[in-house]
Amino acid sequence: MTKKSPNPIDKHVGSRVRMRRMMVNMSQEKLGESLGITFQQIQKYEKGTNRIGASRLQHISTVLGVPVSFFFDGAPSGVPAANGFAEDASPAFVSDFLATSEGLALTRAFTRISDAKVRRRVVDLVEAIAGDEAQA
């Protein structure tokens, strides 16, 4: 018997739940309590192992303070954009990065830098470090 892999949409929605939960500094336990479920169930949702039902997703959106559509932003569709005029979704690595505690912390700190020149220097520094590691 083979193990079924999670649906890409379920994984995406779960990662967006995780990202938003981390953005509002909420633990899996706290979200689970708010929904009347265990933190283990939250973990399964966030990994995409268990699919989130419509009513549960609506409840999650209320608890996390975002519209339901937030969880589908940038989701893989496999459907070409109508007439080719729609904007491309954010690349998956952006969502993946923002779903990590480091990515979220870096983004929060970076957006607090008011000086555009300093922000540019931070980007240059990170690119220089990444370039050195890529060559190693």
- Kindly state whether residue 81 falls inside one of the protein's structural domains: no
Average pLDDT over residues 99-118: 86
Residues 125 and 93 reside in one and the same domain? no
Domain of residue 128 covers 101-136
Alpha-carbon gap, residue 106 to 136, rounded angstroms: 24
Per-residue confidence (pLDDT) for residue 37, from 0 to 100: 97
CATH number of the domain enclosing 48: 1.10.260.40
Greater model confidence, 47 or 74: 47
- The answer, yes or no, to whether residue 34 has pLDDT greater than 80, is yes
Average pLDDT over residues 6-26: 91
- Kindly state whether residue 11 falls inside one of the protein's structural domains: yes
- Kindly state whether residue 52 falls inside one of the protein's structural domains: yes
Confidence tier at 91 by pLDDT (50, 70, 90): low
Average pLDDT over residues 28-45: 97
3-state secondary structure 52-106: CCHHHHHHHHHHHCCCHHHHHCCCCCCCCCHHHCCCCCCCHHHHHHHCCHHHHHH
Residues 53 and 113 reside in one and the same domain? no
- Kindly state whether residue 35 falls inside one of the protein's structural domains: yes
How many structural domains does the chain have? 2
Per-residue confidence (pLDDT) for residue 54, from 0 to 100: 96
Residues 134 and 72 reside in one and the same domain? no
